[in-house]
Amino acid sequence: MRCSKSCRLRWTNYLRPGIKRGNFTDQEEKLIVHLQALLGNRWAAIASYLPERTDNDIKNYWNTHLKRKLQGGGGDGDGGGGAASASSKPAAQRPVSSSKGQWERRLQTDIDMARRALREALTSLDDVKPQPDADADADAGGGGATGPAAGAGAAHSPAASSSSGASQCSPSAAGYVLTTENISRMLDGWARKGGGHAGSGPATPGATESASGSSEASEVSYGGTAVSAPPAPASAFEYETKPTVTAAAADETQLSAIESWLFADVDGIEHHGPGGSLLDASMDYAF
Residues interacting with DNA, by CB under 7 A?
Answer: 2, 4-6, 8-10, 12-14, 21-22, 41-45, 55-57, 59-61, 63-65, 68, 84-85, 87-88, 90, 93-98, 159
Nearest CA to 68 out of 156, 143, 142, 147 is that of: 147
CA gap 26, 32 in Å, rounded: 10
CB nearer DNA, residue 20 or residue 197: 20
Cβ-proximal residues to 221 (8 Å cutoff; 6+ apart), any chain: 227
- What minimum distance in Å lies between the beta carbon of 132 and DNA? 31
Nearer to DNA, 100 or 192 (CB): 100
Q: Least CB distance from residue 175 to DNA, whole Å? A: 13
Q: Residue 239 in contact with residue 208, Cβ under 8 Å? A: yes
Minimum CB distance to DNA, residue 164 (Å)? 17
Do residues 124 and 180 touch, judged by C-beta distance below 8 A?
Answer: yes
Task: Please identify, using beta-carbon distances, which residue of 119 and 156 lies nearer to DNA.
Answer: 156
CB of 1 to DNA, least distance (A): 8
Nearest approach, Cβ of residue 30 and DNA (Å): 18
Residue 62 or 190: which CB sits closer to DNA?
62
Report phi then psi at 199, rounded to 5: -75, -20
Q: Which residues of 174-205 are buried (b: 16+ CB within 10 A; e: fewer)?
A: bbbbbbbbbbbbbbbbbbbbbeeeebbbbbbb
- Quick one: 180 or 182, whose CB is closer to DNA? 182
